[in-house]
Amino acid sequence: MKKNIILIILLTGLICYPRTKIVAANTVNSVNDTYYFIPNSGDANILSNWNTKPDGTGTSPSSLYNTNRIYVINNSKSATLTGSFGGEGVYVSVGDETGGSLGTGTSGILTTYAGNVFFRAKINVNKNSILNYRMTTGAAYYPDLAFCDPSSIVNYNGTTAQNVIAANYGNLNINNIAGTTLLGDVGISTTLTTTTGTINTTTNNGGINFNGSQPQTMPGNSSYTGENVHQITINNNSGVRLVENTTLTVLDSLIVNSGTLTLGTGSTLNIKGKSYIPSTPKVDSTYKAGYTLAWNDEFDGTANSFPNPKYWVQHYTSTVPQSFTTWGQTFTSNNIKKYNYLDGQGHFISKTNDSLGVYYTGGCIATAWPYYMMKKYGYLESKLTFTRNNGVNCTFWLQSPTIGQNPTADDPATYGAEIDICEYLGPSTTSPFGRVNTTIHKNGYDEAYHKQLGNDAAPDVSNGGWHTIALEWSPTYYKFYTDGVLTWTVTDTAWISKHPAMLILGSGVGWTPPNSVGNTWPVYMKVDYVRVYNKN
């Protein structure tokens, strides 16, 4: 029966999906196939390293080029090809797919010759087994990857250019700085990674089919930058995500048969040909490299409604006389919802008005205490846009509830701090652009004890566009980002808070009075999302 299966494969050219079952050792003498085992790790081209029994007894092959041979590398052994190997009807089983009946273990490792040699065989890469494929382009025969278990790993880790065999892989890893070229379509049932090098395709050949059952990712940047992937097909109900800050160019077609294609933050999808996508790719709201999403608010809701009370509470309204000349606000709990609401289009609005020429009035919301306060440490990001009015002050910040509890201690690790991730200050007589002012406050707000450390080197964000503002907070540092660019790092632990803090969003006026010339009231801060992540 096995002979018929092999004949069908040869006639139809099916090299990816047919799977030849490796039977138990005690049945090998029923057909012409002969089994050989490598009981000790070593050179697979040395005849004496192979034996007809798993324990090393029996007989060795007279040649490595005979037909109808099945070579088994299992029991956690490792074999390396140092020259040509194989022939008609030859199979290499890396690992024991029968669950140990061919020996005492199930996994194995095969490393091919790192050059251009004759290797004619069909390879099964079984459970938890590894194939290190190092053959270069131009070989007289390439092996067929007849079967790759979802847990198996195939590494293309040569030192010169290589061709990627058309097959259905479990875990495929590209680790070749010289680059690789797809000989045909490849399937990925688990992961595709690129440690180094690139994946290329010919003009009309070579596609990648993501067909796993768990969520999968397309690797970033070097793998797919440029016109080098002929076709991408997605057959995964759990979805596929294009890694953040990645450019994917598809020469011919993108096909989404099942599941969804999700674009990571900052990713770009270019399709040169046609596409079949049942649903529009969406921006990933749940991914940040090295982190797990703790909670997020995309601010979906009815126009003029208050943000989701599961996450947010009314914090305060700020009222400032228009005659003021220095910093000073009166905080109340009146009319907060009047100045903080949803626009019905997926945004939160924080508004500041001139209150009929008497006061500047704005307000803030804060994360609902204590359920959605930010835990200690993590990554916090928001996407915002600001009105270019003179003197406005729009804020995205954290505040410890115990910041002033013991001001003489000078101990933010215990009592926390105020961390101003973004205080957007509109243009003024002293600053012609709208900058992101970043400040850390500690020891409360009594001037006798209060200390602050600040930075305002972030780029101008007053162009009316959207900008991402973020903080990465660890026990040893703060890192602040604007539009993905690191703008300030604080490593002095005298300033690092180790106390949870609540998140606050709001608007008001700044340290200098707004210049009425050219200003249009009310002014707004618009927020697209807030995302809070915990470190993995």
Q: According to the model, what pLDDT value does residue 526 have?
A: 93
> Which two structure tokens, joined as six digits, stand for 212?
């796993």
pLDDT band at 421 (very low <50, low <70, confident <90, very high): very high
Q: Among candidates 156, 196, 149, which has minimal Cα distance to 172?
A: 156
The full DSSP string for 473-491 is: E-SS-EEEEETTEEEEEE-
Sequence-ordered alpha helix ranges (H) in 351-488: 355-358, 412-415
Same domain as 306, residue 188: no
> Which two structure tokens, joined as six digits, stand for 309?
């009370």
Same domain as 227, residue 166: yes
- Mean pLDDT, rounded, for 333-355: 78
Helices vs. strands in the chain: H and E counts, helices first: 4, 41
Q: Tell me which range, 276-280, 453-457, 500-504, is most confidently predicted by mean pLDDT.
A: 500-504
* Mean of all residue pLDDT scores within the chain: 76
| Total structural domains within the chain | 2
CATH of the domain at 371: 2.60.120.200
By residue count, the chain amounts to: 536
Same domain as 307, residue 286: no
Q: According to the model, what pLDDT value does residue 488 have?
A: 94
> Which two structure tokens, joined as six digits, stand for 470?
């973020």
Same domain as 334, residue 262: no
Spatial separation of the C-alpha atoms in residues 278 and 414, rounded to whole Å: 52
Distances in Å between the Cα of 418 and the Cα atoms of 375, 409, 454, 490 are 14, 16, 12, 14
Same domain as 269, residue 391: no
Of 291, 313, 328, the residue at which a domain comes to its end is 291
Same domain as 352, residue 210: no
Q: According to the model, what pLDDT value does residue 215 have?
A: 87
Q: According to the model, what pLDDT value does residue 353 have?
A: 74
Beta bridge partners of 385: 526
Q: According to the model, what pLDDT value does residue 34 have?
A: 84
Q: What are the pLDDT digits (tens) for 227-250?
A: 467 778 888 888 888 887 777 777
Q: What are the pLDDT digits (tens) for 483-497?
A: 888 999 999 999 999
- Please tell me what DSSP assigns to residue 222: G
> Which two structure tokens, joined as six digits, stand for 298?
């995309």
Q: Among candidates 469, 480, 404, 482, which has minimal Cα distance to 442?
A: 404
Same domain as 306, residue 275: no
Of 291, 314, 330, the residue at which a domain comes to its end is 291
Q: Helix, strand, coil % (nearest 5) of the chain?
A: 10, 45, 45
Same domain as 362, residue 239: no
- Mean pLDDT, rounded, for 23-27: 31
Of 265, 291, 317, the residue at which a domain comes to its end is 291
Q: According to the model, what pLDDT value does residue 398 have?
A: 93
Same domain as 241, residue 310: no
How many other CB atoms are there within 10 angstroms of residue 232's CB atom?
25
Instruction: Provide the CA 353 distance to its chain's centre, in angstroms.
Output: 41
Q: Among candidates 479, 461, 458, which has minimal Cα distance to 470?
A: 479
Q: According to the model, what pLDDT value does residue 39 have?
A: 85
Same domain as 299, residue 283: no
Same domain as 313, residue 279: no
Same domain as 318, residue 170: no
Q: What are the pLDDT digits (tens) for 91-128?
A: 888 987 554 444 445 688 888 876 666 778 888 898 89
CB 170, CB 131: distance < 8 Å = no
Which amino acid does the sequence have at 207? G
Q: What is the extent of the structural domain holding 121?
A: 2-291
Q: According to the model, what pLDDT value does residue 480 have?
A: 94
Which amino acid does the sequence have at 194? T
Q: What are the pLDDT digits (tens) for 120-152?
A: 888 889 889 999 988 877 665 678 888 888 999
Percentage of the residues of the chain whose pLDDT score is greater than 90: 18
- Please tell me what DSSP assigns to residue 535: E
